Amino acid sequence: MRNARLVTLMSCQWADMDLDTLCGKAAEMGYDGIELAIWGNHLDPIRAAKDDAYVEKIKGIFEKHGLVVKALCAHVPSQCVGDYNDPRLNNFAPAELADNPDGIRAWAIETMKAAAISARKLGAYCVTGFVGSTIWKYMYSFPQTTEEMIERGFQEIYDLWCPILDVFKENGIKYCLEVHPAEIAFDYYTTKRLLEKFKDRPEFGLNFDPSHLQWQGISPHVFLEDFIERVYHVHMKDCAVTLNGRNGLLCSHIDFGDLRRGWNFRSLGHGDVNFEEIIRVLNAYNYEGPLSVEWEDSGMDREYGAREACEFVRKIDFKPSDIKFDAAIKS
């Protein structure tokens, strides 16, 4: 029977905190490791790809606190690969590249290639993140949207990412797309279409995050089972749908956490996601990777939420039975 899966903490929402402090807090909360963000105060992937001494320093911090790194998270630079000419990307890229869409994309591609090398050096097996999309603005097909426009968007993502995936393949690292609004794959059928496009690239797979599916009306455990062969990493994140007759699922340009929204992310166990069904699917298909807590809840203190979330995952991650329940009654 398998040992319990590792419980890790995604560091994106903690990138304002220096790495040593975060690792100390995570270890004290009961986590086994960190899904390490490649921005903020945590990891410079371009430096790590070139500087072995820097990598050893990072590894030393984890060893000091008894933590491991199984995954890097690259959601910020990876969005800038497939997204384009969006002024909001100025918040993600280096300041000197502001309002330079070609420069931002070139920086993002270089950064993602470096992420693969950094992951190998740190002993991780995957990098999680986004791919971006030039056709997200076509989600509601008015003005009229043609099939050719959609196919061109999917092909563009394939063409942009294949050179990056070549570096992932060379380094033995998986890339795990988080299916998410504003990505080329944001729901069930766009995911199916994208994976068909990338069928010749087994290093490209999914970071399963149920929270982005739940509010859309997609059953997360059904999605998980159907795409399990390409699920390389799992996020544990919850959300609650709170439709009241006034609000809607598109949320009226109202920011996260506002109670007027039709749904919000919630700390684990405080939303609508059925995590038991998710664990049953993971058990049935022998998923042995980490369960990574992505804490996002604007209505709860993050340290309280992260500690409680770790305890929640420990409790819900039950082992499968190693006997048939009726074996004891056989004569």
Residues 44-64 have pLDDT tens digits of 999 999 999 999 999 999 999
- Domain of residue 253 covers 7-319
Residues 151-184 have pLDDT tens digits of 999 999 999 999 999 999 999 999 999 999 999 9
Give the whole-number percent of the chain exceeding pLDDT 70.
98
286 is a domain residue: yes
The pLDDT, as a whole number, for residue 2 is 46
Span 277-284, average pLDDT: 98
> Containing H/E element for 178?
strand 174-178
180 is a domain residue: yes
252 is a domain residue: yes
How would residue 328 be classed by pLDDT, with cut points 50, 70 and 90?
low
201 is a domain residue: yes
Residues 111-122 have pLDDT tens digits of 999 999 999 999
How would residue 313 be classed by pLDDT, with cut points 50, 70 and 90?
very high
Q: What's the rounded Cα separation, in Å, for the pair 207 and 128?
A: 6
**At CB < 8 A and 24+ separation, what contacts does 184-187 make?**
184/82, 184/131, 184/132, 184/133, 184/135, 184/136, 184/153, 184/154, 184/157, 185/131, 186/136, 186/139, 186/212, 187/213, 187/216, 187/218
How would residue 128 be classed by pLDDT, with cut points 50, 70 and 90?
very high
List of E strands, 237-318: 238-241, 263-266, 291-293
Span 123-146, average pLDDT: 96
The pLDDT, as a whole number, for residue 3 is 60
236 is a domain residue: yes
The pLDDT, as a whole number, for residue 232 is 98
Residues 189-235 have pLDDT tens digits of 999 999 999 999 999 999 999 999 999 999 999 999 999 999 999 99
Residues 76-120 have pLDDT tens digits of 999 999 999 999 999 999 999 999 999 999 999 999 999 999 999
How would residue 1 be classed by pLDDT, with cut points 50, 70 and 90?
very low
How would residue 322 be classed by pLDDT, with cut points 50, 70 and 90?
confident
Number of domains in the chain: 1
326 is a domain residue: no
This prediction's pTM:
0.96
249 is a domain residue: yes
The pLDDT, as a whole number, for residue 257 is 95
Given a cut of 50, whether residue 7 has pLDDT beyond it is: yes
CATH number at residue 83: 3.20.20.150
182 is a domain residue: yes
**Looking at 125-129, 237-241, 283-287, 324-328, which range is the least confident one?**
324-328
